[in-house]
A and B are shown apart, each in its own frame.
Chain A
């Protein structure tokens, strides 16, 4: 069965600090997709990134970066120079190659303090 673990329940940082959100996954599939979503206080889930299991290149998008390590089954998310607007719950998710068996982690609540 597929499983996503986000061990950090809550994280608090002060604005401008860097923060890394951990995600560890379990799957027996050889091809799969990993995702990160943001859920701000307004409640609507916002798609951040999708990563195919064959693509282990790290990705950077502005202040966001993702580190995919297949050897440790991890897909960690780093926010550089955090801002108050980054405060939200962040979910890591996993699906099979066909977009089925979609599983979300329990989420990490990030609070960025001014």
Chain B
């Protein structure tokens, strides 16, 4: 399977606990994006990486959220002190961006991690 993978697929946690999600992008893709999707809404951009550099963060990303991509390959998204409002589907996507020419911006999405905070 050469697509984007995410782990875990489902996570149920109690309010106040910390959770961490992992995303493995398509291997040759240098860009990695995190989104959040709530029921009946479109995905909302959270942050993205070009290789290991985090280039953009949404205002939606509060101080309780942190993302890393230490070696430019997989990425983790951690939520500290979870709140019920954090319940959502967390989506990861990857794409290939080429320097010196038009960026290829086709994002390929993983299956998502569904977080439920009780």
Q: Among the listed stretches A14-22, A63-71, A78-86, A93-101, which one makes contact with chain B, having 4 or more residues with CB under 8 Å of it?
A: A93-101
- Specify the chain B residue showing the minimal Cβ separation from A102: B45
Q: A91-B43, A99-B97 are in contact. Are A43 and B56 (CB under 8 A)?
A: no
User: Which residues of chain A are within 8 angstroms of B102 by Cβ–Cβ distance?
Assistant: 52
In which size bucket is the chain A interface? 20 to 34
Query: Does B33 sit at the interface, judged by CB under 8 A?
Result: yes
Residue contact A50 to B112, C-beta cutoff 8 Å: no
Whole-angstrom distance from the CB of A45 to the nearest CB of chain B? 4
Find residues 56-114 in chain A having any chain B CB closer than 8 Å to their own CB: 91, 93, 95, 97-107
Residue contact B43 to A104, C-beta cutoff 8 Å: yes
Per-position 1/0 for A14-54, Cβ under 8 A of B: 00000000000000000001010100000111110010100
User: Which residues of chain B are within 8 angstroms of A37 by Cβ–Cβ distance?
Assistant: 109
- Specify the chain A residue showing the minimal Cβ separation from B112: A43
User: Which residues of chain A are within 8 angstroms of B89 by Cβ–Cβ distance?
Assistant: 43
Select B42's contact among A97, A99, A105, beta carbons within 8 Å.
A105
- Specify the chain A residue showing the minimal Cβ separation from B33: A102
- Specify the chain B residue showing the minimal Cβ separation from A52: B102
Query: Does B75 sit at the interface, judged by CB under 8 A?
Result: no
Query: Does B60 sit at the interface, judged by CB under 8 A?
Result: no
Query: Does B65 sit at the interface, judged by CB under 8 A?
Result: no
- Specify the chain B residue showing the minimal Cβ separation from A46: B109
Whole-angstrom distance from the CB of B20 to the nearest CB of chain A? 21
- In angstroms, Cα B91 to Cα A91, docked, is 14
Query: Does B31 sit at the interface, judged by CB under 8 A?
Result: yes
15 contacts between A and B (CB under 8 A): A35-B105, A37-B109, A43-B111, A44-B109, A47-B106, A50-B105, A50-B106, A91-B42, A97-B103, A99-B95, A99-B97, A102-B33, A104-B43, A106-B42, A107-B42
